[in-house]
Amino acid sequence: MTSRPAPTAATPRRLFVRTWGCQMNVYDSTRMAALLHPLGFAPAETPEAADMVILNTCHIREKAAEKLFSELGRLRAIKAGREASGRKFLIAVAGCVAQAEGEEILARAPFVDLVTGPQSYHRLPEMVARVARAGGAAIETDFAAEEKFDRLAEAASPQGVSAFLTVQEGCDKFCTFCVVPYTRGAEISRPMAAVLAEARRLVAAGAREITLIGQNVNAWHGAGEDGAPSSLSALIRAVAAIPGVLRVRYTTSHPLEMDDALIAAHRDEPKLMPWLHLPVQSGSDRVLRAMNRRHGVAAYLAVVERLRAARPDIGLSSDFIVGFPGETDADFQATLALVRRVGFASAFSFRYSARPGTPAALMPGQVPDQVAAGRLAELQALLSAQQRAFNAAMLGREVRVLWTGHGRHPGQVSGRTPWLQPVHMPGPACLIGQESPVRIEAVGTNSLAGRPTAKDHYPEPNAA
Ligand code: SAH
Ligand code: SF4
Ligand code: F3S
């Protein structure tokens, strides 16, 4: 019998990463893949085709955590089959469920090999090596975010034409419903120099749009080029000045941190897109107080007014929670009134989900499921009508589109308007990575269709 050679650092292997949750998790997944690349891990299309699977999890609502355990059930079967033929199959759980429930995951799913929180995944290579060498499971759920960013600084993670770049992480706001301050830790801001270096690397790898991301991105106060704390508006201008960058965005923002300089950037920086995701959660002052949002309805509306004065065509998006403990019908009506008053281009709305360890989970007046479901349906109907109206208003207009990929049909390209609406049109692949003007000719439920308005900018798809 011949013995199987032990895997070395460069043994070719395949990695499948599954991501739930916010854009921070999407970004983290690209970084984890980049970190494991030097160990010989190339991307796999499916878990079945992989030697290692990372589940990058989200803890924000109850359903998010349930999805993890159903996926783990599937992976367990793959692992059993693999081990029966004498091969290894590593299962790693990363992200916010790993942070909040690391030990429970290992107790409930002992076949999991690695557990890493969002602030410790820079240690994945050594964890993989440790498990390969010694067997057993490895768990890392420390909060060492600054160290993480230092260690990640040089990892290359090309993301295509539109790229996310984490500039801020963690949250000190402690909204009473939210797990993020517990799973991601305290707010930290990466220094401007590190952000700009990463932005340049992304541009060199093909990025033309950079979205600066953070749980409270507008609270970014990283060290500027002179070492003193800077502000997001300065960072946006610096990123916009990098040759090759066509568009800049940032998300997610807290209404309290929308300062004058940031609002002015929407007026003065042409590469900053006229779009803002600004969660409000509720339109009732009473509920906002119970949520510990630290702003009322009037303050939110004042921010909206200042933004619209600076950039009249700005599109606004938001997050809402219905059925927060103690929410009355009058509170809910106040939310509908706020939505009618602002007019959103798009929004996410959720039924309140009690999260263990958060103050709201223990509050009296939990709203019955049926009541919350009814409110959610009513709110979503209003928000969808506003979104349809916003999209319908594009018909016949000329808008600039950044082309990010191939369309659904051959000979088509697809991209996004400044307001993040997906657009497709007939056009050659060489357009990908460029911005060009389009006349919108049709408005569908999920996307817009158009025709080029500047034919001389590039050849016709079938031109010789
Ligand atoms: N940092 C951002 C968003 C964080 S989480 C902010 O401050 O707005 C994204 C969204 O999930 C939140 O805006 C909120 O609407 C929703 N959310 C968070 N916790 C929730 C919970 N316990 N139940 C239902 N929705 C929740
Ligand atoms: Fe959660 Fe509130 Fe922090 Fe947003 S600001 S991440 S909702 S605690
Ligand atoms: Fe979810 Fe964690 Fe993001 S809980 S929303 S993945 S910060």
Domain end, chosen from 144, 162, 183, is at: 144
CA distance 71 to 103: 18
- Cα(251) to ligand 1 centroid in Å equals 13
Q: What is the pLDDT of residues 406-453, one digit of tens each?
A: 988 899 999 999 999 999 999 999 999 999 999 999 999 889 999 998
Nearest CA to ligand 3 atom 3: 22
Asked if residue 238 lies in contact with residue 194, where contact means CB atoms within 8 angstroms, the answer is: no
Domain harbouring 405, CATH code: 2.40.50.140
Task: Reply yes or no on whether the pLDDT at 459 is more than 80.
Answer: no
In this prediction, residue 159 carries a pLDDT of 81
Could you read off the pLDDT of 345-401 as tens digits, one per residue? 999 999 999 999 999 999 999 999 999 999 999 999 999 999 999 999 999 999 999
Residue 107 lies in a domain: yes
- Give the nearest ligand 3 atom to 179 CA: 4
Which ligand has an atom closest to residue 291 CA? 2
What local confidence, expressed as pLDDT, does residue 136 receive?
Answer: 77
> Can you give the residue range of the structural domain that contains 134?
13-144
Does the C-beta of 41 come closer than 6 Å to ligand 1?
Answer: no
Of 144, 169, 186, the residue that ends a domain is: 144
Is 140 domain-assigned? yes
Cα–Cα distance measured from residue 154 to residue 168, given in angstroms and rounded to the nearest whole number: 18
428 part of a folded domain: yes
CA angle 321, 322, 326 (to 5 degrees): 115
Residues 330-336, mean pLDDT to the nearest whole number:
98
177 Cβ inside 6 Å of ligand 1: yes
Residue 457: pLDDT over 70: no
Considering every ligand atom, which ligand is closest to the CA of 282?
Answer: 1
CATH assignment of the domain containing 95: 3.40.50.12160
Q: What burial class does residue 446 get, using C-beta atoms within 10 Å of its C-beta: 0-12 exposed, 13-18 middle, 19+ buried?
A: exposed
Evaluate whether residue 219 is within a structural domain. no
Report whether residue 149 contacts ligand 1, using a CB cutoff of 6 Å. Answer: no
Query: How confident is the model at residue 422, as a pLDDT?
Result: 97
In-domain check, residue 43: yes
Confidence of residue 155 (pLDDT cuts 50, 70, 90): low
Residue 197 has pLDDT above 60, yes or no: yes
Q: Closest Cα to atom 4, ligand 2: which residue?
A: 215
* Distance in Å, CA 319 to ligand 2 centroid: 11
pLDDT, residue 153, reads 57
Q: Show which of 119, 144, 169 is a domain's final residue.
A: 144
Distance, CA of 405 to CA of 209 (rounded, Å):
13
Ligand 2 centroid to 389 CA: how many Å? 29
pLDDT of 458 higher than 60: no
Q: How many domains does the chain have?
A: 2
Locate the ligand 3 atom nearest the alpha carbon of residue 99 and give its number: 2
Mutate to test the pocket of ligand 3, among 29, 32, 183, 355 (most ligand atoms within 8 A of CB): 183
Residue 65 domain flag: yes
Contact 196, 204 (CB under 8 A): no
- Ligand 1 near 230 CB (within 6 A): no
Identify the pLDDT of residue 3.
Answer: 45
Identify which of 169, 319, 355 to mutate to test ligand 1's pocket (most ligand atoms within 8 A of the CB).
319
Report the atom number in ligand 1 closest to the C-alpha of 175: 7
Mean pLDDT of 293-308: 98
Q: 222-257: per-residue pLDDT in tens?
A: 999 899 999 999 999 999 999 999 999 999 999 999
- For residue 59, the CA-to-ligand 3 centroid distance in Å is 6
**Mean pLDDT (whole number) for 129-157:** 74
CA dist., res. 277 & res. 386, Å (int)? 15
284 close to ligand 1 (CB < 6 Angstrom): no
Least confident of 274-278, 355-359, 458-462: 458-462
What pLDDT does residue 137 have?
A: 78
Could you tell which of 213, 220, 252, 254 is best to mutate to test the pocket of ligand 2, judged by most ligand atoms within 8 Å of the CB?
254
Closest residue by CA, ligand 1 atom 7: 254
- Proportion of the chain above pLDDT 70, given as a percent: 93
Q: Ligand 2 pocket: which residues have CB below 6 Å?
A: 171, 173-175, 178, 180-181, 215-216, 254
Instruction: Determine, yes or no, domain membership for 54.
Output: yes
| pLDDT score of 245 | 98
Residue 144 has pLDDT above 80, yes or no: no
Confidence class for position 146, pLDDT limits 50, 70, 90? low
With beta carbons less than 8 A apart as the criterion, state whether 15 and 44 touch: yes
Q: Which of 13-27, 120-134, 138-152, 401-415 has the lowest mean pLDDT?
A: 138-152
What is the reported pLDDT for 149?
Answer: 75
* Phi, then psi, of 418 in degrees rounded to 5: -60, -25
CA dihedral 417, 419, 422, 425 (to 10 degrees): -20
* Confidence bin at 464 (pLDDT 50/70/90): very low
pLDDT higher than threshold 80 for residue 309: yes
Q: What's the rounded Cα separation, in Å, for the pair 148 and 123?
A: 8
On the question of pLDDT at 5 being above 80, the answer is no
| Atom 5 of ligand 2: nearest residue by CA position | 173
- How many C-beta atoms lie closer than 10 Å to residue 420's C-beta? 15
Confidence of residue 156 (pLDDT cuts 50, 70, 90): low
Ligand 1 within 6 A of 184 CB? Answer: no
**How does residue 143 score in pLDDT terms, banded at 50, 70 and 90?**
confident
291 CA distance to ligand 2 centroid (A)?
Answer: 10
pLDDT at 169: 93
Q: Which amino acid is at 152?
A: L
* Stronger pLDDT, 301 or 8, i.e. the higher one: 301
Is residue 51 situated within a structural domain? yes
- Mean pLDDT of the residues in the chain: 92
Which atom, in ligand 2's list, is nearest to the CA of 252? 4
Provide mean pLDDT across the span 87-93: 95
